[in-house]
Amino acid sequence: MTNKRFLSGITPSGDGTLHIGNYLGAVAQFIELSQKNEAFLMVADLHALTTIQEKKQLEKNVETLILSELALLKGFMDEEKFKKIVFFRQSDVPEHAELQTILNNVTPLGLLKRAHAYKDKLQNQDASDEEINLGLFNYPILMAADILLYKPQFIPVGKDQKQHIEIARDLAERFNKTFGKNIFVLPEPQIPEETAVIMGTDGKRKMSKSLGNIIAIFEPEEVIKKQVMSCYTDPTRAHTNDPGHVEGNMVFSYLDFFGERQTVDEYKEAYRQGRVADVEIKDYLFAALMKTFRPARDRYEELKANPKLVKEILEHGTYKAREAAGKTMVEVREAVGLNNSYAIGSSLIVDRSSKNNNCITIEDIAKLEVRVGKVVKAENVEKSDKLILLTVSFGEAGQRTIYTGVRGYGYTPEDFAGKQFFFVVNLKPRKMPGGESQGMILAVDSEPLPFGKHGATKPLFVSAEGLPVGARIR
Ligand code: TYM
């Protein structure tokens, strides 16, 4: 598959660490697929709230998962490849929650009752409807929103997520049909057979954070060693020199992915003939895991020590994600009838063609030159009852004359003289009584107004006291 868009997510549940099931079922696919496709990869922090309801724990889990995923997405340091990866946190894009609210209304209750996350909890964990929160019950709708917002063609996941993708397809169809618009694309699950379900170290159940049968990737070596040593092997084999079974033996299952082909084949043969001890193959598995994940483990520490870089990656991702999600939401609002002429539009980043759009782009903002200026002289303009003329120093960049029409609000020259403020300095000069205004002082409205509305409330001037005169604001 090439040049398509895909999306996937991982939930920072448990303690936020990644295990080799996540790696094989999801992250390894992301790495492979993101080289040729546009990848939206999300840390699904809103989903984690169904189980993690402790502030500190959630904060830590989100950090751990962000660092782990980035450490594994090794292409990210490489400029060209990184450009195709959009890595972001779900809660940084409020459109996910907004679309979930809308999709609630095309979701039959029965569909959710059949969803396995809810059903499993009800049956296996003996929980009642009184104990199960609505977040868990609703989970598939939020996940459908996660997916549909980005109109991806495919979703790489493990088999446990298949039903959720089917629900997303179902809701997409229902929405399109109900509102008579083909807005949502029906995504295909991408679940390679070999990695669809990675079994846990107990050899009985799927590897899962909540079952404690995992092999972690970024935990201390002693922890991983212990997890490897606990792997289910062959219970019928009492002594090292008894012939052993390779099938269903978790050490060999994992070695098929992480060991060297020839060595693994030799070990398998030796095991079948009773020539090698469990501990030896486990030691080899441990060494193979360390070899595979050594670069990522090192990178984890590097990233942890460089929060600025991590934040930059997330900022880039959030911008791209909001741009894509915002566009879809403009269409959704329009289709359902929320976009009439009184609507202001809740998304800050919206399609520029939208009729409610009063947004500018980051490129527009980058054109604005704002600097710290010091008012060296302030005087009333004689022929005006509004204007005050400021002579403003920008340090080495020189002086400017800048007018402000605020006497009507009770301001006097003394309010400005000798003080520092922020000024826009790349405006076209404007003719004024007795001279020209070579910039504009920045002010804040004294009352909050809705986004996009510009009122005429008393301006409050933004102090730039203590900042270097002439410095540029970025
Ligand atoms: P989560 O966090 O449980 O798992 C993340 C990814 O890892 C895969 N996986 C496995 N694959 C094979 N064998 C295993 N033992 C194994 N354990 C986990 C999962 O299938 C998944 O791909 N609801 C999702 C996160 C999510 C999402 C989305 C995914 C939220 N929004 C939108 C795709 C699209 C979850 O909790 O995955």
Handedness of CA 276, 282, 287, 292 (dihedral sign): positive
Cα(35) to centroid of ligand 1, in Å?
Answer: 21
pLDDT value, residue 434: 87
Q: Residue range 176-203: average pLDDT? A: 97
Laid out side by side, the sheet with 188-190 consists of 85-89, 38-43, 5-10, 154-156, 188-190
Cβ atoms of 185 and 152 closer than 8 Å: yes
Does residue 234 have a pLDDT over 90?
A: yes
pLDDT value, residue 452: 61
pLDDT value, residue 77: 67
Q: Is the CB of 202 under 6 A from ligand 1?
A: no
pLDDT value, residue 364: 76
Q: Which long-range contacts (CB under 8 A, 24 or more apart) does 206-211 make?
A: 206/21, 206/160, 207/19, 207/20, 207/21, 208/21, 209/13, 209/14, 209/15, 209/17, 209/19, 210/13, 210/14
The strand pairing partners of 378, in sequence order, are 390
d(CA 197, CA 201): 13
pLDDT value, residue 351: 44
User: Which residues fall within 8 angstroms of residue 183, CB to CB, at 6 or more apart?
Assistant: 175, 176, 328, 331, 332, 335
Q: What is the DSSP letter of 403?
A: E
Cα(158) to centroid of ligand 1, in Å?
Answer: 6
Name the band, by pLDDT with cuts 50, 70 and 90, for residue 345.
low
pLDDT value, residue 340: 78
Does residue 348 have a pLDDT over 50?
A: no
d(CA 189, CA 285): 31
Q: Residue range 155-168: average pLDDT? A: 96
Half-sphere exposure of 97 (CA within 13 A, CB side): 13
Residue with tokens 């935990």: 219
6-54 pLDDT, tens digit each: 999 999 999 999 999 999 999 999 999 998 899 999 999 999 999 999 9
DSSP E strand stretches across 229-355: none
- Helix 116-124, helix 134-148: angle, nearest 10: 160
Name the band, by pLDDT with cuts 50, 70 and 90, for residue 354.
very low
379-403 pLDDT, tens digit each: 999 989 999 999 999 999 899 999 9
Q: Which residue of 160, 171, 202 sits with most ligand 1 atoms within 8 Å of its CB, as the best mutation to test the pocket?
A: 160
Cα(263) to centroid of ligand 1, in Å?
Answer: 31
Q: Is the CB of 22 under 6 A from ligand 1?
A: yes
Handedness of CA 336, 340, 346, 350 (dihedral sign): positive
Determine whether 153 is exposed, middle or buried from the number of CB atoms within 10 Å of its CB (0-12, 13-18, 19+). Answer: middle
Average pLDDT over the chain, rounded to an integer: 91
pLDDT value, residue 455: 66
d(CA 10, CA 270): 38
Does residue 272 have a pLDDT over 60?
A: yes
Q: Is the CB of 27 under 6 A from ligand 1?
A: no
Which of residues 29 and 354 earns the better pLDDT score? 29
121 is catalytic: yes
pLDDT value, residue 196: 96
52-65 pLDDT, tens digit each: 999 999 999 999 99
Q: Residue range 168-185: average pLDDT? A: 98
87-138 pLDDT, tens digit each: 999 999 999 999 999 999 999 999 999 988 888 888 877 688 888 899 999 9
Q: Which of 60, 81, 206, 377 is catalytic?
A: 206
Cβ atoms of 70 and 310 closer than 8 Å: yes
pLDDT value, residue 359: 63
Q: Residue range 325-334: average pLDDT? A: 93
Q: Is 183 helix (H, G, I), strand (E, B) or coil?
A: coil
Q: Is the CB of 14 under 6 A from ligand 1?
A: no
Does residue 362 have a pLDDT over 90?
A: no
Q: Residue range 424-442: average pLDDT? A: 93
Cβ atoms of 50 and 8 closer than 8 Å: no
Q: Residue range 328-333: average pLDDT? A: 94
pLDDT value, residue 454: 66
pLDDT value, residue 41: 97
Q: Is the CB of 198 under 6 A from ligand 1?
A: yes
pLDDT value, residue 358: 55
What is the model's pTM? Answer: 0.76
pLDDT value, residue 174: 98
Name the band, by pLDDT with cuts 50, 70 and 90, for residue 260.
very high
Write the residue with the smallest CA distance to atom 7 of ligand 1.
22
Cβ atoms of 407 and 380 closer than 8 Å: yes
Residues in the chain: 474
- List the structure tokens of 124: 């296996």
Does residue 419 have a pLDDT over 70?
A: yes
pLDDT value, residue 350: 43
Q: Any idea which of 179-183, 304-308, 352-356 has the lowest mean pLDDT?
A: 352-356
Looking at the CA of residue 11, tell me the nearest atom of ligand 1.
2
Q: Residue range 319-339: average pLDDT? A: 92
